[in-house]
Structures are given as structure tokens and as C-alpha cells.
Homo-oligomer: A and B are copies of this chain.
Amino acid sequence: MEHKLLESIELASDVKKLNIEQLNDLCMELRDEIIEKVSETGGHLASNLGAVELTVALHYVFDSPDEPIIWDVGHQCYAHKILTGRDITGIRTEEGLSGFPKSSESEHDIFAAGHASTSVSAALGVAEAKKIAGDDNSVVAVVGDGATSGGMIYEALNNAGRSGTNLVVVLNDNEMSISPNVGAMAKYLAGIRSKEGYFRFKDNLEHFLLKIPVIGKGIFSVFRSVKRFFKDLFYSSNTFEHFGFVYLGPADGHDIAMLTRTFRRAKSIKRPVLVHINTVKGKGYEPAEKNPSKFHGVAPFDRKTGELKKVSGYSFSSAFGESLCKLAEKDDKICAITAAMTDGTGLRDFSEKYKNRFFDVGIAEEHAMTFAAGLAAGGMKPCFAVYSTFLQRAYDQVLHDASIEPKHVVIGIDRAGIVGGDGETHQGTFDVPILTTIPGVTVYSPTSYEELENSLEKAFAGEGVQAVRYPRGGEKNVPEKYAGKYHDFDYYENGGDCLIVTYGRLFAEASFAAEETGASVLKLGKIFPIEHEAVEIAKKYKNVLFFEESVEFGSIAEHFGSDLRKCGFEGKYEIHCVCGFVPHMKVENAMKLHGLDCESMKNAVKEALK
């Protein structure tokens, strides 16, 4: 397909020069470009296809970057990237763009986001800044309906509606986040959606109401007048209006003419407006329309057939789900909780087999954690499965609700460590530092599927908060002698003066490095609290090298070093950790860059022994 219009656009504002027919053609070209490029490298597809018309209409009506567009979660911003002069070839790879908005890429991205439900807070901040400066440009936040289960959105709407700013919140409603949505808000939105013609009806109603005479008595007498009564009911019947927003919608999110009209009206209103639009996830690409969950985030695929080129195999997530099912079969107190990640965390089977013990709470990690503590207080054995990066949102809940008075809650921490293509916003390099600040928390970091099951068993047999963390992807091979031991720590003595201490995924790298250099290896299985005996073993070495897939401050490496010092260790101690925020790149490349691959370990051992 030729991309004539796309090629004609140099600045985002060039979109404004097109007529409706051309805008429709531009959308086709954008869709074609997105499908083509994502089929090559993988990436978020369904959400991006759903947001094409919406993006074009936004740039047609608003003047980015003076009227900035802030994308919630951010993975639906591909069309926005293209229209603001960026080439999405190789997106999410080291050579290409980030899969999320990024300020360093463009002045049109003023706020990065990979976590949900933050955009209205951010946009309200920018809008208040503009109000103070006397700048009456609009600020746009684009929120998927999936993000409406997150409490931050509610906190922001509670403040925004009556702020008097020129904030435009676009609710991009495709009836699902990654999977179909849960919760009351999702049902509520579905209720609005199903009222056909509601949009125009409300426009006309206002006019009609102004003509109604006052009746006075009877059932309505508690209200001052029927007019007031009707207006109250109509205009209060919408939750967003309770919040003080002008509500426009629902509008067809693939009808460019309707979208531009609606956005123009929103722009003209000069107070907070919520525009509710209905879109179809995967729109315009049949395989994605049919199976939007599968095409939410995809590996490279065959554009013609929609077949994935690389079917994702068995992983730590699968092993976690399988182990949890096994344990739940034997123990009917075991429950599983997810925050909108049933598939991502490997809980699909559990959700089907143990329906009454499975809870998908929507994107709501804070609630999920305290809800888990409540289940524990009620006598159940809950397991909250969550990505490391999203657990960050529930720090206070782990501390305040589950640890001050200890509740026996197991946390299955998926995507712990470096995650690859998602980049900075999704790295699992902070869970260890924050969990270890909380008194009473125990953390396991298994190296294999078998050890994962073993760790889960220990966690369910333990007390208080018990976390089991495992990386994205699958288990790694290790030389035979390093396999199959799952104690709180396992010590592989190879003679010599150098000891590598590590845990989790890095153990495989360490075992090969040890084989080649003669270093010994201390593998931590229960990584926290640190076992005194493990420290005593390390103390005997002249050189102790700790390798860890975490930021350094608050790492196990730091705690272990502190314990070593307390034991009177007199040797040399080195910490090899992740440094700073890690951008999007292959996991193995990030490992090399941060000195955590086998080769780097070998070099570090050789250097230490010099």
C-alpha cells in the first residue's frame, strides 16, 4: 500500500490541512504502517489499531505540543509517534523507538507512562500550570476503559472535575483492558454504551427541559420543581457528571467526522470535559479484531494469516500457574488474585478450575494486596500474582495492611528482573529493595520451574508475607552438578579463593562462569532474610563477588555485604548490580551492559584473582 498522505505529513499540524476523506485515507495508511511494522518486530497491536482515528482526530483538532496529549499506559501511542515525525521501524528494539511515550524522542511526548491510571493526574497538573500562567490551551488525557479500575483515576477525577481547567479526558472505551474488564465500572460503562442515540438525545433534552412548566405537588413535591428534578436526574445519572465534568458521548471512535466534531466541542467548552468514545480493539485487522487479547502484545507474526512466528513456550509464568493449581488441589484454602493479568501471570487454568477461589480485581494493585490480607484474616491462603513493576504500587499495602499485624499472604512476583522490550517503565529491578525494607517479609527467588514449586510450597508453609519472585521467560540450563538443589541456600565449592554469590536467573550464568574459572558458587534460594550460615560460608573467601538483577541501593548484595562486615569478613567484596533505569533492549544485551552475563562474571572473577 502506498503511504502518500503519510509521506506528506512532516509536522503533526499538517494533519489539519486534510479534509475528512483524506483523514480517512490517512487512517488506512497509518493502520497499514502499524500492522506492517509490528508484524516485523512484535509490539502492542490491538490497542494501537483501535486508537488510529482517535489519534488523527486529536491532532486535527488540538495543537500538540502546546495542547499536549498524555497517553494513559502509553502503549496505544504508535499512530501518535508516526504523526509526530517518528519512524516506528524496529520499535521496542534497541535500534528503534520505545514502545511507550518518551520525552527524549519528541516534544510531543510530555509524559512517559507504562503503568495505568496516571494520565489524568499528570494532565491535571499540566492544566493547572497553564491556568496559573493564563494559557487557555487544552490538555488532553487519553484513558483506556481498562485503566478506570485503578484508584488513581478516581482520585484525579475527584479533583479535576471542578478545577476550572481546560482539561479534556478522552475515555477510549473498547470494553477491555488487556483481557475483558471486570468490576462495577466496566458494567456501568457497558450500560451507557448500550443506550443507542443517548448522545444526541441528551443534546435535545436540555432544550426540551427549559420549556417544561413547574408542576409542584405530588410525588415530586420534595424537589423544588419538575425542571430541577429532571435536570438533576438526567445530569446526575452519569457518574462523570457527578465529578463535575461535562460529559460528551458515547461517540463512535472510528467515525472521523464525529470525532473531530466532538473534540472541537470539547475544546470550545473551556472547563473539564470527558469525551466517551467507543472503539474496537484491533480495528481494521481481522485476526486482531477476532482475538484482541492475543494481539494485545505480540511477537512478530505473519501479516497475511495472523499467525505468530514464534509461539511463546512454557515459562516461569506457566510453571507458577501449574504449581499453584497443584497446591490448590490439595488445599482448598488456597486462593489466587490477579490485577487484570490472568493470562500474563499464568492463572488462566486456575481461574477455570477454581472459579470460586479466583479473583481478578482489575487494574487495582493496592486493593488487591489489602484484599489478599483480608482473605488471610478470614482464614484463607491467598496468593497475589503480580508483575514486579506493578507491585511497586502496593508497597504501603504490603507494609501497613499485611505486615504490621502479619497476614499470611503469598506474593507471586512475575517479570522480576530485567524485562526487555518494555523498557524503563516495566523493569522488575525494585521489588527486592522495597520488600526487604519491610519487617517480617520473606523472599524466595527460584532458579528453575521445579524450584519455583518448591519455593511456593515453603511460602505457603511460612508466616506473614512470603514473596516468590521469578523472571520473564523460561528456565535456563545449568551444568549437571548445579541442578536440582533447593535449600534456602546451596553451596557449590570448587576450591580457590573466589566465591560468586547470586540468585534467580543469574545462577545459570554463574554456574557456567564458575566451571570455567574455578570459582565457587553460593546460590541463595531464600534470598531474604539472609541466612547467617550462608554469610559464614562467604566469610571464608578472600574474594566475594555478588551478582544481582536489582538496583544496588537496598539490594540483597548490599544487605549481604553488611552482614559480612558484621561477621568480621576481611576479604574483598564486590557488588555487581543493575545501574539506574534500564531502557528497552533485549534482556541478554542489558545483562551484558550491566555486567551480569556469564562473560562479565568470568572477567570479574579473573580480575579479582589478579
Contacts and interface: CB of A to CB of B under 8 A. Distances in A.
A242 to B, nearest CB: 5
Nearest to A158: B183
A214 interface: no
Interface in A416-443: 424-425, 430, 433-434, 436-440
Contacts of A126: 374-375, 377-378
Nearest to A556: B553
Nearest to A374: B125
B554 A554 contact: yes
A597 B161 CA distance: 49
A351 B565 CA distance: 49
Given A151-B151, A159-B371, A237 B233 contact: yes
A238 to B, nearest CB: 9
A392 B401 contact: no
Contacts of A404: 112, 424-425, 581
Contacts of A439: 551, 580-581
Contact of A377 (B110, B152, B396): B110
A269 interface: no
Given A158-B362, A395-B392, A562-B562, A130 B378 contact: yes
A27 B554 CA distance: 51
B150 A162 contact: no
Contacts of A255: none
A314 interface: no
Contacts of A197: 222
A239 B239 contact: yes
A114 B237 contact: no
A219 interface: yes
B155 A184 contact: no
Chain A interface size range: 35 or more
A39 interface: no
B112 A371 contact: no
Interface stretch (A276-284, A353-361, A510-518, A598-606): A353-361
A436 B155 contact: no
Interface string A187-221: 11000000111100100010010000000000100
Interface in A464-483: none
User: Which of A371, A430, A558: most chain B Cβ within 10 A?
Assistant: A371
A268 interface: no
A255 to B, nearest CB: 20
Interface string A328-362: 00000001000000000000000000001101011
Nearest to A159: B361
A164 to B, nearest CB: 10
A129 interface: yes
B436 A122 contact: no
A547 B440 CA distance: 22
Interface of A: 102-104, 110-115, 118, 121-130, 132-133, 149-159, 161-162, 182-185, 187-188, 195-198, 201, 205, 208, 219, 222, 232-234, 236-237, 239, 242-244, 335, 356-357, 359, 361-362, 364, 366-367, 370-380, 382, 392-393, 395-397, 399-401, 403-405, 424-425, 430, 433-434, 436-440, 551-554, 558-559, 561-562, 565, 573, 575, 580-581
Given A121-B371, A158-B364, A392-B396, 13 more contacts: A104-B405, A111-B374, A121-B401, A122-B370, A127-B378, A129-B375, A129-B380, A154-B155, A159-B364, A162-B187, A233-B234, A436-B553, A553-B559
